[in-house]
């Protein structure tokens, strides 16, 4: 519930008339209870950001947020395989998937090793720091 809306309702609603007076307080309190039950005093919803296909700035911002989060967790290099962003580790170590791009539009500057039989993670790994720097400039 939104406290400001409750106080505003008490001060301005005709149904709250007499709220502070003993003669109509019970009726006004019942009306307040009804307003709460009906959701009239619920907080306003938080506006959601709008990201549309082709919204380059928003995609860059999302990529930058992901990259900064990965850097905070000590991830130094990533690579792309079938539109999945993975942590690059030495040969023979498990590869952890960080992100699956269902839009096929993100991290376009990271070469997908699935596009060529002769590409390997070692060849296409990209520094998370360099990707952060390139997105911070644009």
Is there a contact between 78 and 124 (Cβ–Cβ < 8 Å)?
A: no
- Burial class for 36, CB neighbours closer than 10 Å (0-12, 13-18, 19+): middle
Q: Given a cut of 70, is residue 35 above it in pLDDT?
A: yes
Token pair, residue 21, equals 């007076």
pLDDT band of residue 105 (cuts 50, 70, 90) is confident
Q: Which DSSP category does 116 fall into?
A: -
In this predicted model, what pLDDT tens digit does every residue of 55-91 receive, in sequence order?
666 788 889 999 999 999 889 999 999 999 999 876 6
pLDDT of residue 38: 85
pLDDT of residue 20: 74
Is there a contact between 70 and 85 (Cβ–Cβ < 8 Å)?
A: no
Q: In angstroms, rounded to a whole number, what is the distance separating the alpha carbons of residues 81 and 28?
A: 64
Average pLDDT over residues 27-41: 82
Token pair, residue 51, equals 């990201």
pLDDT of residue 86: 92
Considering only residues 32 and 110, tell me which one the structure prediction assigns the higher pLDDT: 110
Q: In angstroms, rounded to a whole number, what is the distance separating the alpha carbons of residues 103 and 61?
A: 15
pTM assigned to the model? 0.56
Per cent of the chain over pLDDT 90 is 36
pLDDT of residue 26: 79
Q: Given a cut of 70, is residue 108 above it in pLDDT?
A: yes
């Amino acid at each position: 519930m939104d406290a400001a809306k409750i106080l505003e309702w008490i001060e301005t609603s005709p149904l709250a008339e007499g709220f502070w007076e003993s003669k109509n307080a019970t009726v006004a309190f019942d009306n307040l209870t009804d307003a709460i039950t009906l959701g009239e005093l619920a907080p306003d919803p938080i506006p959601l950001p709008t990201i549309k296909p082709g919204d380059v700035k928003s995609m860059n911002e999302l990529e930058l947020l992901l990259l900064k989060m990965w850097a905070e967790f000590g991830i130094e290099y990533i690579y792309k395989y079938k539109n999945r962003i993975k942590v690059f580790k030495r040969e023979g170590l498990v590869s952890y998937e960080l992100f699956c791009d269902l839009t096929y539009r993100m991290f376009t500057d990271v070469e997908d090793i699935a596009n060529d039989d002769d590409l390997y993670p070692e060849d296409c790994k990209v520094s998370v720091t360099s990707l952060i720097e390139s997105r911070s400039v644009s």
